Chains A and B, each alone.
Chain A
Amino acid sequence: MSLYSAETRRLTKRRFTKLFLLGVTLILAAVAAGMFFTNEKAGPAQIASAQAQAQQDYQRSLEQFQRDQAACQAAQGTAQASNWPPGCEGMIEPTAEDFQAQWYMPPTFDFRESFPDMVTTLAALLAMVAFIVGASFVGAEWSSGGMMNLLLWRPQRLRVLGTKLAALLVFFTALTVVFSAVWTGLFYLIAQARGSSESMTSGAWQSIALMELRGLALVIVAGAVGFGLASLGRHTAMALGVTIGAVIVFQFGLGTVLSLASVKFAEAYLIPVWMIAWMDKEVKIEDYNSCDFSSASGCVPDSLTLTWPMAGGVLAAVFVVIVVASMWTMRSRDVT
C-alpha cells in the first residue's frame, strides 16, 4: 500500500501530468463553450422567425420565377429566345414545400441526438492523454535511472511495475469518472439552455451511461498500452515516437496497400474503425465494388458489420498482450 500511495503521489506531482490535464481541460472547456454559443433553444420566437424567413424566401423566388417567365414570354420570336428554354417549358415553379421552416431553424442542442458524439470526444481525448502520460510516467523513470533506484528499494520487479501500472490506471479511472460526470452535467445544462433534453428516457440515459463506461475502458486500455510500450522500450520515446509514427505510417501504408490490392473491407484493418465500432456499438463497412442484386432495391453493396463485442475483444487482446509482454521483460531483463 505504501508503494501504491508513493506511486500515485509521484504521478500527480509530475509537471507532465499536470500540464496534460490542464491542456485537456482547456480543450474540453473550449468544446463545451463552442457548443453553447453555436446552439440556440428552439422556442416559439425562433419558430416564428424561421417560418417568416422561409415564407420570405419562398415569396422572393416565386417573384423571380414570375419575372423570368414574363421575360421568356416576351422574348419568344425574338433573337433572345435562345436564352430561354424552348416554348418556355421546363421552368419549374417553386413551391412552399421547397422552403420548409425547419431548415431555417438555428442549430439546437438535442441531448439525446448530440451528446453521444460528445462522449466519444471526451473518451478519445482522455485516452490520448492516458497514453502519453502513462508512457512518460514509466518511460521517464526508466531513462532517468529512477526505476533502478526504486528497485534497489523494493527488489520485487513485478510488484514495482505492477503497482506503478495500478496507480496509473486507478488514477485515470477516477479522472475519467469525474470528467464524465462533469461532462454529462455540463451538456445537460447546455441542452436546457440551448436545446432540449426532453427526449431523454431512462433507456436513453442507460445507453449513455453504457457508452461512457465503454469510453472508460478505452481510456484504461490506452493508458496501459502507453505504459507497457514505454516500459518495454525503457524510454518514453519508444511509446510515443515509435507508436505514433508506426501507427500513422502503418495505417496509411497498410490502408493504401490494401486498397490497391482491392482487399475486401480494407477499412476493417484500420484502427479508427474499431474505435468507432467500440464507442458507437457498431460500424458497417460497405464494399462498393460488389453488387448483390435484388429486384426490390437494385444493387446492394456487400457489407461487413463490426460490433462492439468484437471491438471489445480486440481491445482486451491488445491490453493483455502488451501488459504481459512488459511484465515478462521486466522480470527477465537485466537492469543496467
Chain B
Amino acid sequence: MTAVLEIAGLQKTYRSRKGVRRALDGFDMTVEAGQVHGFLGPNGSGKTTTLRTLLGLIRPNGGRMAILGREVPASLPEVAGQVGAIVESPQFFGNFTAQDTLSLLADAGGVRKERVVAVLELVGLRDRAKDRVKTYSLGMKQRLAVASALLKEPKLLILDEPANGLDPGGIREMRTLMRNLAESGMTVVLSSHILGEIQLICDSVTIISAGRRVAAGSVADVLKTHTSLSVKVALEPGVDMRNAIELLRANGAQVTVEHDHFTVGNAGNPAQITRILAEREIYVSELTPMSADLESVFLELTGTAPVEGQNRQVDQSAAAPAPASGGWGQ
C-alpha cells in the first residue's frame, strides 16, 4: 500500500493580538490509499488546523507534508485537481443557487458540466438545486459542501466534520456514500469528534490531542493496543461486594463499582479474579468480558473523559500519550 497523505512533525502557532497559541506541536499522520481514515480529536485539538495547513490555506511553522507523493504546499497546484476538500462547514454565497455555485466552481476548476448534476443527485439535492443557498438548512449546506468536494472526482477526499448538522438519515446516507466512494478506489479522510460514526465506517484512525498524535493505526489495532480487557463481575446474590472489591484492589485491580456488579478495568487475565476471590470463598456468578469501544479509548487517550464534579474546559486535554495500561494480573 502507498501513502496518499503523509504529514510529519507539523507545527503551527497562531499569533494574534491576544498572544500565541500552539495549535499543532509536531503532529504526524499517514493515510494509506483506498482507506476511509478517521481523524479524531476533541474540540480545539487541531484537526481543522491540520487540514487547512495541508490544503495551503495557512502556512505551517515547520514540518513536512505530502499528498499523493508530492510535497505540499509546493506542489499543491498540481495535486489540487485530485483532492476534493471541505474545511470546517464551508459557507457559500447565499444569493446563488446550489446549481450556480457548483457550476461556477466547475468552471473555475475546468470540470465537465455534467458533474454538477451528477454530484447534486449523489448528495440528494437534485430537487432543491435551483433554490438559493440562503434558504438551505445546515444539513443541506453540508450536503452541498460534500457535493462541491466530489465535483472533481478526486482521488483523495478530505472532509472536516461532514456529519455536522446532518439528521440521522443523512448521517447514514453519508456513511453509505463514503463506503461506496472508498470501494470505488477513493481515499477518504474524515475528521470527526463523533466516535460511533468513525468506528462504523473507518478502516484506520489517527487520534489527535492538543496538537499531537496520540494513537494511529487500524481501528482494531488501536482498540487492541490501547485497551486492556475489562470484565464485568457479578457475585452470588446476598454476598457483600465490598470485601471482594477491597481484595481485588489490594491486588492492584482497577475496580469500578456499579449498582449490582462491578467491573475490573485492567483484567489481562480474568482467571486471576476467580482465583483470588475463590481463595476467600467468594464465588463469582458472572464474569463477562466487555467489548472495548473507540469512545473509551478516545476518552482515555485524550484525557477528556468527564470527571464528576468538574467542568472540563476545551483546552484541557492530554498532551502526551497516556501510559499504556498494563495488563493486571498477567
Contacts and interface: CB of A to CB of B under 8 A. Distances in A.
B87 A148 contact: yes
Nearest to B95: A15
A206 to B, nearest CB: 41
Given A152-B86, A154-B109, 11 more contacts: A2-B109, A6-B108, A145-B92, A146-B91, A148-B90, A151-B57, A153-B80, A153-B105, A332-B59, A334-B58, A336-B57
Contact of A336 (B58, B80, B85): B58
Contacts of A3: 107-108
Contacts of A154: 77, 80, 108-109
A114 interface: no
Contacts of B110: 2
Given A13-B96, A13-B100, A148 B107 contact: no
A66 interface: no
A146 B77 contact: no
Nearest to A151: B57
A336 B85 CA distance: 15
A150 B105 CA distance: 7
B104 interface: yes
Given A3-B108, A5-B107, A152 B85 contact: yes
Contact of B56 (A10, A13, A149, A155): A155
A212 interface: no
B148 interface: yes
Contacts of B152: 153
A149 B100 contact: no
7 contacts: A9-B107, A145-B92, A151-B57, A155-B76, A155-B77, A334-B52, A335-B58
Contact of B93 (A9, A144, A152, A332): A144
A98 to B, nearest CB: 64
A140 interface: yes
Nearest to A15: B95
Interface in A1-31: 2-3, 5-7, 9-10, 13-15
A40 interface: no
A6 B107 contact: yes
Interface of A: 2-3, 5-7, 9-10, 13-15, 140-141, 144-146, 148-156, 332, 334-336
A122 to B, nearest CB: 29
B95 A14 contact: yes
A334 B59 contact: yes
B94 interface: yes
B91 to A, nearest CB: 3
Chain B interface category by residue count: 20 to 34
B95 A152 contact: no
A141 B93 contact: yes
B57 A149 contact: no
B73 interface: yes
A152 B104 contact: no
A160 to B, nearest CB: 8
Among B57, B100, B108, max chain A CB count under 10 A is at B108
Contacts of A336: 52, 57-58
Nearest to A163: B108
A146 B58 contact: no
A3 to B, nearest CB: 5
A332 to B, nearest CB: 8
B244 interface: no
B13 to A, nearest CB: 11
Contacts of B96: 13
B104 A9 contact: yes
A11 B218 CA distance: 47
B58 A149 contact: no
A139 to B, nearest CB: 11
Interface in B243-302: none
Contacts of A2: 107-110
Interface in B70-115: 73, 76-77, 80, 85-87, 90-96, 100, 104-105, 107-110
A235 B87 CA distance: 20
A140 B87 contact: no
A14 B95 CA distance: 8
B55 interface: yes
A10 B57 CA distance: 22
Given A2-B107, A5-B107, A155-B76, A146 B55 contact: no
B109 A146 contact: no
B60 to A, nearest CB: 10
Interface string B145-167: 00010001000000000000000
B15 to A, nearest CB: 10
Contacts of A144: 91-94
B108 A146 contact: no
A218 B55 CA distance: 38
Nearest to A14: B95
Contacts of A149: 90, 92, 105, 148
Contacts of B85: 152
B91 A145 contact: yes
Nearest to B97: A13
A15 B94 CA distance: 11
A215 B55 CA distance: 42
Nearest to B86: A152
Contacts of B108: 2-3, 6-7, 150, 153-154
